Amino acid sequence: MARIAVPPIKCQGIKTKLVPWIKKQMNWSGDGRWIEPFFGSGVVGFNVRPKKAIFCDNNPHIIGFYQGVNSGEITPAVVRGFLEKQGALLSEQGGDYYYEVRERFNETRTPLDFLFLNRSCFNGVIRFNSKGKFNVPFNHKPERFSKAYVTKVVNQVKSVRHLCQVNEWEFVCQDFRETFSLVEESDFVYCDPPYVGRHTDYFNTWGEEEEADLFRLLSGCKAQFILSTWHNNQHRHNPYIDRFWSGFHIVTRNHFYHVGAKEKNRKPMLEALVMNYVPPVEKKETVEQYLQPRLLEQRADYSSNS
């Protein structure tokens, strides 16, 4: 299996370990554009490596960082110099300096401060309060930016920078509804929205209204798509699987998300991929085992009554 390219910006729900599985479900020639209305960490797109792509998100800080990488304003050398300097101050002053940078970022919104906070906050969580201020606490690791760690982040930036140079990629800050207006039949759409009831305060809220809007847009999508969502865990079932997504093809797989502070709190999740086409089927699996029924009548009925 090819090595997975890890992005420099971390994000809750990152799909690093799911990339091979997601790629296996794709049925796309590579013509057209790869379009992501919910860019997030970007780990799937960075590993698909499409020739043409439009990466969109409503979080201006993520998009602003990658716009800087794409334009050449943020280079590996710039990142190294910045993290070495800021890391030394963090080592000297500890958590006080982290909170100083957090306050500075909430005033200036600079992309490099965002990178610093993302790599030194608790579990790489991206979270903003109702006033739009980054509010994730310190990870209590003042020696975070060791020489080896800085080099790792720099190499991740270098990888993205190279992909930007050899491909035609755009990074756009906009609402997902606007992004769907760009989709053409030859494109491939990968959606990884915030999970209803799972990810809160990523940047803006995500609830039933947003899930319903996404359903309507994907139901009318001219291109092939994959939607990443959650199916169930040991405590509850995603109600929108039955309400919205059961009319499409669905494949599932167990997965752990390592966000909890304690290992015992890190429970498995049944991850689901929703598609508007028949995905490839493993040799030892039947179509019945692998796919949900395509309940077109249910989907059409909901759309007509919405």
| Tokens standing for residue 43 | 């780990």
pTM of the model: 0.87
CATH 3.40.50.150 in the chain: give the residue spans: 16-58+174-305
**Encoding tokens for residue 64?**
């602003």
Helix (H, G, I), strand (E, B) or coil at 301: helix
What does DSSP say about strands 224-233 and 268-275: parallel, antiparallel, or unpaired? antiparallel
The verdict on domain 16-58+174-305 having CATH code 3.40.50.150 is yes
Q: Look at residues 277, 289, 284, 222 and name the one whose alpha carbon lies nearest to residue 248.
A: 277
Kindly list the distances between the CA atom of residue 215 and the CA atoms of 176, 194, 240, in Å, as whole numbers in the listed order. Answer: 12, 14, 10
CA gyration radius, the chain: 20
The boundaries of every CATH 1.10.1020.10 domain in the chain are 70-160
Contact 189, 37 (CB under 8 A): yes
Full pLDDT tens readout for the chain, 306 residues:
578 999 999 988 889 999 999 999 998 999 999 999 999 999 999 999 999 999 999 999 999 999 999 999 999 999 999 999 999 999 999 999 999 999 999 999 999 999 999 999 999 999 999 899 999 999 999 999 999 999 999 999 999 999 999 999 999 999 999 999 999 999 999 999 988 755 455 556 788 999 999 999 999 999 999 999 989 877 788 889 999 999 999 999 987 655 444 545 456 778 999 999 999 865 444 444 444 444 344 444 444 444
CATH code linked to domain 70-160: 1.10.1020.10
Query: Can you tell me whether residue 231 is helix, strand or coil?
Result: strand
- What residue type is 260 in one-letter code? G
- Please name which of 153, 167, 187, 128 lies closest in space to residue 65, comparing C-alpha atoms: 153
Do the Cβ atoms of 242 and 295 come closer than 8 Å? no
The dihedral through the CA atoms of 155, 157, 160, 165 has a sign that is negative
